[in-house]
Chain A
């Protein structure tokens, strides 16, 4: 199947269990993690996950809502965005 790559961006305060919670959700929903990076920027913990959502069976807003719920629980901003927006904005 052709890959469909999106970025999950997590912004906030670093704490235990962020990766575990998100990767567990992704695993259960057949979403593969292709790459993970993290960095402290402007005093904020920023993590990006490049994920392949081609295996996800439901409408995409369901994944958005699940991520939002984790974000709320842990006091983080979590966003899901198709990789094309980053390619367009940051590559000529």
Chain B
């Protein structure tokens, strides 16, 4: 059956007026084959491999952008967790040099971010992991493109509280070294981190992956908001259907671009991650979808139900559209990057506590949350541990990307600039969990992990 004018118009409208885009094409590459006992040779191999692959990615992605008339907003790379390849080069200086060479390679290739400067330490920290965390404030303040992650727990390993307990101090140090704590925006801590997530700051090329793979992140909160606005009176089942159908369509666009780009790059296609990811553009907001559902302001009672419905419908539509749906697939709820969220915090309808509740049903966690710079490090650790325990017990990914902004107090607005938006500083519970957190150790894996 021929494509009708209505169908062409629907797609054109999504792209022209509702901010539908391929949010990211992320090329994952294995760096284990670059390891060399001669550190200089090692660095050169890393630089060459990243640079060569990155340049090809940019060229080929540009061609498809023109062919299909859909913007491919970000071209990124992810690499093998750096802690693994650095096990035989244990010095702070070398870790920093490795970060600098990755940064330079990303810059020279023209990719905007390179993810993977991190480690999987859900059960324990190796010497290399410890060094990596120690050097992170310097890495995040001396690079522009390098993104870092830690996976500190999983539902089969439990949570490594000793690793979490290092993060408050690390984040405060990073915040002190970068303007408005911006370095902290390139660090995310996970439990149950997906090894094929294409979205930053948490992308890395998992150790179970092949030599290279292409993962696609597609997004369109604006498209979903627009369709919800057109369906004002339908009940929840119908609303879910409407969202599913829309998400099916946008995921298919991601599938098409992903498959063709992988073919042109002559590498295997990984996953399509269909995650509603807000931007600072007007209406391209998850908070505005919730508003279109009929909730005055996100954070109001009823918001958790709204996000639960949205998440599930997104997954169902996505799963039908692609055989390879993966990554995080659901909805992000970054605070500073979503103008509807920013407004909700400003009008005091969204608190950190309610945001935490919402993350029990969303796909990620506390994302781009600014807190006062004088928050005690144990409290930051406890915020992280609370959020991550939701993931461990509920068998899902959760993550934290938090910015303790020096000199700022609750209610202040901090301009982060560009895609990162504006951060309203949120207030934090003033009572302490210090004595609990200092017990350290590992949260045992939950009973639901005993499935064998």
Q: Does A29 contact B (CB under 8 A)?
A: no
> Are A83 and B9 within 8 A (Cβ)?
no
Residues of A within 8 A of B10 (CB): 90
Complexed CA–CA distance, A51 and B8 (Å): 14
> Are B16 and A64 within 8 A (Cβ)?
no
Q: Does A84 contact B (CB under 8 A)?
A: yes
Residues of B within 8 A of A87 (CB): 3
> Are B12 and A90 within 8 A (Cβ)?
no
B1-18: CB near A (< 8 Å → 1, else 0) gives 111111111111001100
Q: Does B70 contact A (CB under 8 A)?
A: yes
Q: How far is the CB of B274 from chain A (nearest CB, A)?
A: 13
Residues of B within 8 A of A89 (CB): 7, 11, 249-250, 252-253
> Are A83 and B5 within 8 A (Cβ)?
no
> Are A48 and B66 within 8 A (Cβ)?
no
Q: Does B68 contact A (CB under 8 A)?
A: yes
Q: Does A66 contact B (CB under 8 A)?
A: no
Complexed CA–CA distance, A82 and B10 (Å): 15
Residues of A within 8 A of B439 (CB): none
Q: Does B378 contact A (CB under 8 A)?
A: no
Instruction: Give the size of the chain A interface in residues (CB under 8 angstroms).
Output: 29
Most buried by A among B11, B70, B256: B11
Complexed CA–CA distance, A32 and B124 (Å): 64
Complexed CA–CA distance, A86 and B14 (Å): 12
> Are B68 and A82 within 8 A (Cβ)?
yes
Q: Does B377 contact A (CB under 8 A)?
A: no
> Are B5 and A81 within 8 A (Cβ)?
no
Q: Does A23 contact B (CB under 8 A)?
A: no
Q: Does B255 contact A (CB under 8 A)?
A: yes
Out of B2, B12, B66, name the residue touching A61 (CB < 8 Å): B66
Majority-rule SS of B interface residues: helix
Interface residues of A in 36-75 (CB under 8 A from B): 37-39, 41, 46-48, 50, 60-61, 64
Asked if A85 meets B255 with Cβ closer than 8 Å, knowing A11-B12, A35-B2, the reply is no
Out of A47, A60, A90, name the residue touching B66 (CB < 8 Å): A60
Residue of A nearest to B62 (CB): A61
Out of B6, B68, B249, B250, name the residue touching A84 (CB < 8 Å): B68
Q: Does B417 contact A (CB under 8 A)?
A: no
Residues of B within 8 A of A11 (CB): 9, 12, 16
Residues of B within 8 A of A48 (CB): 3, 5, 8-9
> Are B256 and A46 within 8 A (Cβ)?
no
> Are A81 and B69 within 8 A (Cβ)?
yes
Residue of B nearest to A82 (CB): B67
Complexed CA–CA distance, A29 and B10 (Å): 28
> Are A88 and B253 within 8 A (Cβ)?
yes
Interface residues of B in 384-412 (CB under 8 A from A): none
Residues of A within 8 A of B70 (CB): 81, 85
Residue of A nearest to B16 (CB): A77
Residue of B nearest to A35 (CB): B2
> Are B11 and A85 within 8 A (Cβ)?
yes
A–B Cβ pairs within 8 angstroms, 21 of them:
A7-B3, A9-B8, A11-B9, A35-B2, A37-B5, A39-B9, A46-B12, A48-B8, A48-B9, A50-B3, A64-B66, A77-B16, A81-B12, A81-B68, A85-B11, A85-B253, A87-B3, A88-B252, A88-B256, A89-B7, A90-B3
Q: Contacts A46-B5, A83-B3, A90-B10 given; 12 further ones with Cβ under 8 A?
A: A7-B8, A35-B2, A38-B5, A60-B67, A77-B16, A79-B15, A79-B69, A85-B70, A88-B256, A89-B7, A89-B253, A90-B249
- B: residues with CB less than 8 A from A are 1-12, 15-16, 66-70, 249-250, 252-253, 255-256
